């Protein structure tokens, strides 16, 4: 990544008064959490997503779907926030009006110090009743042994006894209205949006950087690859988030202590 491009991005971040940091699976890649579309390691390559991430799949086999998400939550628990997550928290500490909007269902932004990321696709740590939507406690670990290496019978809702489901958005489901409204409001009001580690392929989430650009914000993209968001990005920082974001924070405000 050329130093000139980094300096240009640092000048934009240093002048920004209202920032949105919009993140995708690439944000957590260097924490060992697989992205969706990376060949071989991608989550969808290992599993038939349609067989696991849909309401119909849960209705047909709650234990299979619940077991998969328990496996993903345990993988996230074993992961650690990376220097990119910490750099996002450093931006929030420097620019008071910063909103983190994430498509990720892990809790790595929170564990790196981001106060209240907007989870457009829900969270592995927000299970709820599949019937009455009552929030359910997050299992502390693999409380129930997988029945056949993958199936884990989901707990019953404390209020209505229906099966508890993962609190994530499935194919064919709408995004949480409150989260989407907050993300659109932040994107509409910001003067800088930094998009990190997303292929920009999945709507309506992928609309967020475009809303910001349409309403006059400057967009910086952090991604080792080209994406459709290259069209709206004024600056493209080609590289991995855990290296690029700390470099951007340092170029903007000087060394900010341990990365």
Partnered with residue 97 across adjacent β-strands are 18
CA 131 to chain centre: 26
Residue 41 backbone phi and psi in degrees, to 5 = -85, -15
CB 19 within 8 A of CB 13: yes
Question: Contact between 29 and ligand OAD (CB under 6 A)?
Answer: yes
Count residues binding ligand OAD (CB under 6 A).
23
Residue 129 backbone phi and psi in degrees, to 5 = -65, 135
C-alpha span between 132 and 110 (Å, rounded)? 27
Among 20, 33, 35, 76, binds ligand OAD (CB under 6 A): 35
Task: Mark 107-146 with x for binding to ligand OAD (rule: CB under 6 A) and - for no binding.
Answer: --------------x-------------------------
Among 13, 19, 24, 106, binds ligand OAD (CB under 6 A): 24
C-alpha span between 198 and 233 (Å, rounded)? 13
Residue nearest to ligand OAD (CB): 26
Q: Which stretch binds ligand OAD (CB under 6 A): 11-19, 129-137, 195-203, 246-254?
A: 195-203
Q: Which value, to the nearest 10 degrees, does the dihedral of the CA atoms of residues 69, 112, 217, 173 take? A: 10
Residue 4 or 39 with smaller CB distance to ligand OAD: 39
Question: Contact between 252 and ligand OAD (CB under 6 A)?
Answer: no
What's the Cα-to-Cα distance from 231 to each of 123, 149, 170, rounded to whole Å?
29, 44, 28
Among 223, 232, 237, 246, binds ligand OAD (CB under 6 A): 223
Catalytic residue check, 85: no
What is the contact surface with ligand OAD in residues (CB under 6 A)?
A: 24-26, 29-30, 35-37, 103, 121, 169, 197-199, 201-202, 222-225, 227, 240-241
């Amino acid at each position: 990544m050329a130093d000139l491009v980094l300096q240009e991005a640092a000048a934009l971040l240093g002048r920004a008064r209202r920032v949105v940091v919009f993140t995708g699976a690439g944000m957590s890649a260097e924490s060992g959490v697989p992205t969706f579309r990376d060949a071989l390691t991608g989550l969808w390559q290992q599993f038939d997503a349609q067989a696991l991430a849909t309401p119909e799949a849960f209705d047909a086999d709650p234990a299979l779907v619940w077991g998969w998400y328990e496996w993903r939550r345990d993988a996230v628990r074993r992961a650690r926030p990376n220097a990119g997550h910490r750099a996002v928290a450093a931006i929030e500490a420097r620019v008071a009006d910063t909103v983190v909007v994430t498509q990720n269902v892990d809790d790595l932004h929170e564990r790196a110090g981001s106060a209240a990321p907007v989870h457009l696709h829900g969270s592995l740590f927000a299970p709820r009743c599949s019937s009455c939507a009552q929030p359910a406690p997050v299992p502390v670990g693999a409380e129930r042994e997988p029945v056949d290496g993958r199936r884990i019978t989901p707990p019953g809702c404390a209020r209505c006894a229906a099966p508890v489901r993962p609190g994530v958005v499935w194919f064919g489901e709408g995004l949480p209205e409150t989260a989407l409204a907050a993300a659109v409001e932040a994107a509409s009001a910001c003067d800088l949006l930094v998009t990190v580690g997303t292929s920009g392929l999945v709507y309506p989430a992928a609309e967020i950087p475009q809303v910001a650009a349409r309403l006059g914000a400057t967009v910086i993209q952090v991604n080792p690859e080209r994406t459709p968001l290259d069209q709206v990005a004024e600056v493209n920082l080609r590289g991995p988030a855990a290296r690029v974001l700390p470099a951007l924070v340092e170029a903007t405000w000087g060394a900010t202590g341990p990365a």
